[in-house]
Structure 1
Amino acid sequence: MEVVGTSRQGTSSGNGDALIDIEGLVNSIKEKLDKLSCPSTKCCIYKVPIKLKKINEEAYTPLRVSIGPLHHGKEGLEDMEDHKLRYFNDFMQRSGKSLEELVKIMEEMEKEIRDCYAETINFESDKFLEIILVDAAFIVEFLLRYRFPWLKTPNDRIFGKPSMINDVRYDLLLLENQLPLFVLLDLVERTNIDLGFNWNETISYSFIILEEKSPSDSQVSVPEEKSPSDSQVLVPEEKNASDSQASVPKEKSPSNSQASVPEEKSPSDSRVSIPEEKSPSKVKQIIDCLISHLIPRQSLQQTERKFGIPSATELHEAGVKFKVSSSKNLFDIKFSGNILEIPHTQIVDPTECLLRNIIAYEQCHCDVKFFGDYTMIMDYLINTSKDVELLVQAKIIENWLSDNNDVSNLFNGLGKEVNINSEAYYFTELHKELNDYCEIPSHKWKATLRQDYCSTPWRVLSIIVAAILLGLTFIQSLCSLVSCNKR
């Protein structure tokens, strides 16, 4: 059927009852293509993939406070909005800037901020800039009060309740609850905050930065291929974890996200320290002084196993001895002779939450996945509570959970729906060394002899006595035989 007297061309639909407006359809698609924006190369803040979130949604969801646009307005987080405004008001007074000046600072960065989010942010400019400004000021003010107790106010809802401090601190670690680091840097740099302390004083503070081409680890130091970019997210870290500082393996060039948050104890080990500047800027000095505590850190794994190693129990039965490494690098696991050295790590309650968010970031952003590789090898070593017990006895794992089964379940569950690149796997050589060792039969029977018969001095003594008695019995039998032959 043809439509006469119009420039519009059409063709019948499959059922023959209607016409398709070809020209209208073409124009509609063209309009959508014209509005299509090109993804930014600065993208560094992601939504957690659904396949990971469905395993444990709570690990990725803020409990108390939303930061940035992704969780803004979510049910259960509204109560903190007024308190964030109180923090913002205090920050504004402390900064020496007017509200108009602060808004203009944010306005200059709007496009760059939007480019950092993988998801399209649907808020209009006014609302978007309000969210970023208030949340950025909240983070800076939170860090100031965390670092300098005299800045806390009597009616502070957060610092007046210890449980709130913990919840807020860990909310700031979540992958979806982030702001680009340059927002905080610019906000601090362009304000007049002066707390009257010596900026040149040596202060050993560190913070986690998960950033493109720079992995994070147990107080790990960033690989030197690339200095941290501005598209990172800041989160304070814990200070007394100097025992658990580590540096990321320099042989590989990982990639990471950003973020750091304060913490009470020195948990397992996984932090990143920023390379020192020769002439520290005001921003660097302020950031160093703000971050007085580090966050808990630990590891990750995967379920698809193309290759593996024996568990800790099986290695022990083959004669492998476990020893806590003196290295502060979480990934510095070495096998020499029959000794497997593994750096010390603490397993605490927030470990799973932190690791899941680091894992999610690696899955979204990184080509090389250091935490993925680390937790994969820990998953191979740990299958049961008995494996955990061996590592606890060797002081490799410090278990702050209720029992060893919890640690086993932690490592066995972290790798679901996680993809690990076996071709870039960091511990490939270690796998080979351990498997080669266990394939030698003599290692197992020697180990069995040592573990079953020579484990204590009394067992050794009993074996010696038994051998002597056996020898005497043999001699006596031999003498009897000789005497019989003489007859």
Structure 2
Amino acid sequence: MEVVGTSRQGTSSGNGDASIDMEGLVKSIRKKLGKLSCPSSKCCIYKVPKKFKKINEEAYTPLRVSIGPLHHGKEDLEDMEEHKLRYFNDFMQRSGKSLEELVKIMEEMEKGIRECYAETIDFDRYKFLEIILVDAAFIIEVLLRHWFDDLRTPNDRIFSKPWMIYDIKYDLLLLENQIPFFVLQDLFKMTNIQAGFQFSQNETLPNPFILTLNFFMSFLQIQELLVPEHINPSEIKHVLDLLRICLIPKQSSQPPEEKIPSKVNQFIAFLRRFIPRQSLQQTERKFDIPSAIELYEARVKFEVSSSKNLFDIKFRGNVLEIPHTKINDSTERLLRNIIAYEQCHCDVHFFGDYTMIMDSLINTSKDVELLVQAKIIENCLSDNNDVSNLFNRLNKEVIIFSEEYYFTKLHKELNDFCEIPSHKWKATLRQDYCNTPWRVLSIIVAAILLGLTFIQSLCSLVSCNK
């Protein structure tokens, strides 16, 4: 008779199920535990969360070239692999290093490079090092050829076709298309590229930091790049991180004063981190301001700011000053990738906050039209509806951190202005009674008839007294 119970091989549940191989289960779990790697504090390159890709996957997907391991080998990008090897061959000759020496440089950096990726990279070390080396050399060659026109050849597939370099520039800004910036810096520093160029006295070859800024300076059409003096090139995570640092407000380098919140506030703050921005807007008035048209009806004037900083939005008196912004076909791709990077990595979400206030100001094409007339928005899209749709979609699924919201003071100032009784009365009058020429005309006619009726009644009263 079989005894139900334990044995060296396993146990039975007692209800007829197959026995469990305890030794095999323990061995399997231990094997998985042995493969676990400790999360690194250097992690800075992420896959875009699925909730963002669900809204617009194309905004996060490279068009021409894969950089790094996350998109390597995809069929749509295979055409550029041969050209990347040509660039690598030119870089190797320019560097004064042999192939073995370049591979050795990469081998020494492998552990640090892998730690920068949030996802486990499935490629073996040989393929991984090949991808990083070829892609890093490709980026350096692109930067050098952009700086030095004479390095370009007539058969260059990239620089001989303006649309190609345009696509590649945006591919280099995608969150999933990054390699650590220290790879470019170290590869640049450890090679002898400087010797291949003729410079005048006291002139040197710019480093990757300067070359990268120059590469994007004339291309980013959201605003002019402002290079903060406090940037430490060694602290730059990757190209997308560099662009974000150059675009955010300068004062962001100064840490805010620490506050010790109560236990209740800490718990509320914790819950808010899981509330989508859209739902919080519906429940918390702090993030609800009138649209541009509604502000205009409350006698707010819109003027383009002289500031080049995207975030330098000021409300003085009854004038709202907003920096000039150029909206084109690639604006959404850039904003979405910076916002995704902020959501995955950054403590303060400047671009999420910026798109939120623009979403508040822009509800319809009429709001866009008002901002275009004030020269605040330069619309390079097909029509104003496209701009309003762009800003209305950018904040979907974005998590808001209300305690650090950058435009809190501006929201309060605008709401306080609109709450003044005289401004509310004027806005209501314009919105409800004077929103079309025919209504204005009917009110004027009614006022005239009322005045004539009053005069007639007055004349009748006077004649009766006589």
TM-score range relative to shorter protein: 0.7 to 0.9
Could you tell me which residue of structure 1 aligns to residue 369 of structure 2? Answer: 389
Deviation at 1:374, TM superposition (A): 0.4
**Structure-2 separation of matches of 1:43 and 1:202:** 30
Question: Structure 1 14/165 Cα, relative in aligned 2: closer, same or farther at 3 Å?
Answer: farther
Could you tell me which residue of structure 2 aligns to residue 362 of structure 1? Answer: 342
The one of 278, 281, 285 aligned to 1:303: 278
Q: Which runs of 5+ in 2 are unaligned?
A: 216-221, 256-275, 435-439
Could you tell me which residue of structure 1 aligns to residue 178 of structure 2? Answer: 178
Matched, 1:323 2:303: yes
The one of 349, 352, 363 aligned to 1:372: 352
**Retained in 1: the 8 A contact 2:68–2:177?**
yes
Deviation at 1:348, TM superposition (A): 1.0
The one of 388, 393, 397 aligned to 1:413: 393
**Retained in 2: the 8 A contact 1:46–1:176?**
yes
The one of 196, 199, 202 aligned to 1:197: 199
The 3-state SS of whatever aligns with 2:304 is strand
Matched, 1:168 2:168: yes
Could you tell me which residue of structure 1 aligns to residue 379 of structure 2? Answer: 399
Deviation at 1:338, TM superposition (A): 1.1
Could you tell me which residue of structure 2 aligns to residue 248 of structure 1? Answer: 249
Question: Structure 1 302/150 Cα, relative in aligned 2: closer, same or farther at 3 Å?
Answer: farther
Question: Structure 1 429/232 Cα, relative in aligned 2: closer, same or farther at 3 Å?
Answer: same
The 3-state SS of whatever aligns with 2:177 is coil
Deviation at 1:9, TM superposition (A): 5.1
Q: Which runs of 5+ in 1 are unaligned?
A: 210-215, 239-244, 255-300, 454-458
Q: After superposition, what is the alpha-carbon deviation per residue over 1:141-184, rounded to whole angstroms, capped at 9, x for unaligned?
A: 11111221111112211122222111211111111111100000
**Retained in 2: the 8 A contact 1:223–1:253?**
no
**Structure-2 separation of matches of 1:14 and 1:357:** 55
**Structure-2 separation of matches of 1:30 and 1:449:** 73
Could you tell me which residue of structure 1 aligns to residue 406 of structure 2? Answer: 426
Q: After superposition, what is the alpha-carbon deviation per residue over 1:111-139, rounded to whole angstroms, capped at 9, x for unaligned?
A: 00000011111111111111111110011
Could you tell me which residue of structure 2 aligns to residue 29 of structure 1? Answer: 29
**Retained in 1: the 8 A contact 2:45–2:178?**
yes
The amino acid of 1:162's aligned partner reads: P
**Structure-1 separation of matches of 2:130 and 2:70:** 14
Question: Structure 1 415/247 Cα, relative in aligned 2: closer, same or farther at 3 Å?
Answer: closer
Question: Structure 1 370/51 Cα, relative in aligned 2: closer, same or farther at 3 Å?
Answer: same
Could you tell me which residue of structure 2 aligns to residue 234 of structure 1? Answer: 239
Deviation at 1:234, TM superposition (A): 2.7
Could you tell me which residue of structure 2 aligns to residue 268 of structure 1? Answer: none
Number of aligned positions between the proteins: 417
Equivalent runs, 1:63-142 vs 2, <5 Å: 63-142=63-142
Could you tell me which residue of structure 1 aligns to residue 153 of structure 2? Answer: 153
The amino acid of 2:225's aligned partner reads: Q
TM-score normalized with structure 1 length = 0.76
The 3-state SS of whatever aligns with 1:303 is helix
The 3-state SS of whatever aligns with 1:313 is helix
**Retained in 1: the 8 A contact 2:290–2:360?**
yes
**Structure-2 separation of matches of 1:400 and 1:143:** 27
Could you tell me which residue of structure 1 aligns to residue 264 of structure 2? Answer: none
**Retained in 1: the 8 A contact 2:223–2:326?**
no
**Retained in 2: the 8 A contact 1:208–1:219?**
no
CA RMSD between the two structures: 3.7
TM-score normalized with structure 2 length = 0.79
**Retained in 2: the 8 A contact 1:208–1:234?**
no
Equivalent runs, 1:212-227 vs 2, <5 Å: 219-222=225-228, 224=230, 227=232
> Between Structure 1 and Structure 2, which shows a larger proportion of helix residues?
2
Could you tell me which residue of structure 2 aligns to residue 12 of structure 1? Answer: 12
The amino acid of 2:136's aligned partner reads: A
Deviation at 1:219, TM superposition (A): 2.4
The amino acid of 2:237's aligned partner reads: Q
**Structure-2 separation of matches of 1:381 and 1:119:** 37
Question: Structure 1 449/441 Cα, relative in aligned 2: closer, same or farther at 3 Å?
Answer: same
Q: After superposition, what is the alpha-carbon deviation per residue over 1:203-249, rounded to whole angstroms, capped at 9, x for unaligned?
A: 9977399xxxxxx986244595x8454461136999xxxxxx86515
Question: Structure 1 223/188 Cα, relative in aligned 2: closer, same or farther at 3 Å?
Answer: closer
Q: Percent identity?
A: 71
The 3-state SS of whatever aligns with 1:387 is helix
